[in-house]
Amino acid sequence: MNSSKKKRIAVVTGGASGLGLAAVRKLLERGASVAIWDCSEAALEATKSTFACDGAVLTCAVDVADPASITAAAERTRAQLGDADLLVAAAAVPGPVLPFAEWSIEDFRRVIDVNLIGVHLTCQALVPAMMRAGWGRVVLVSSVAGKEGNVLQSGYVASKSGVIGYVKCLGKELATSGVLVNGIAPTVFDTPMLRQISDAGPEMIAAMKSKVPMARLGQPDEFGEMAAWLCSDACSFTTGMTFDLSGGRSTY
């Protein structure tokens, strides 16, 4: 993304905090205009204030599990910035930390609705314009939990495993369209979502961290750098792949 090329327009879901916010920062550094979609109006307001001087940020309150909310945000983004070239889908909820038999159907459905169906709805709203333009980059956020499983997180793991499958399918489906679709599977990162899970079961987070050979939490900017590369022209022969970001935990 440099001045000699078309200014890219990005949508980042879950972009007001955590990994999504890190992606926003890196995409702005590389010259993109960014629409931040998030369900938290308070977080959006704080983020908007942070980036007010950039003049390249649009904030939209969005529930990614609600088709009408997605449609409204897509129309607003298109009207104010133009059609998106880039999508980083980071919006997610962890759900409760409970034995599978104690998960309510309401909690299970909410996690699937946000983490998996939300990805599908967002892609349906934005990717067709990329296909018409013949160029696009889509980055869907999964989790190492979607590959290995986490005890007491059946809904979350199921949703993130689904995202990995979705990346494979969409990457192959769009392989000749100019739109590349890839995923990132982070391990334990220092984010607000981690603190939500930690409040419910800190012993589980300690166990997850103990599996990381680097013996530390991932930092959001490390995610942002990978997301930005996957959104770049330099990423040109990779699609349908989910990249681990795991401090050595995943080596397969």
With a CB cutoff of 8 Å and minimum separation 6, the contacts of 19 are 90, 141, 186, 189, 191, 220, 223, 224, 227
Cα within 13 Å of Cα(183), Cβ side: 27
Q: How far apart are CA 25 and CA 155, in angstroms?
A: 30
Out of 37, 51, 156, 243, the active site residue is 156
For residue 152, give the nearest of 183, 111, 115 by alpha carbon. 111
Query: Shortest CA distance to 249 belongs to which of 169, 174, 178, 187?
Result: 187
Q: What single letter denotes the amino acid at residue 168? A: K
Q: Helix, strand or coil for residue 184?
A: strand
**Helix ranges, 30-153 (H):** 41-50, 67-80, 105-112, 118-133, 145-148
Q: What are phi and psi of 188, to 5 degrees?
A: -75, 120
156 part of the active site: yes
Residues identified as active-site = 156
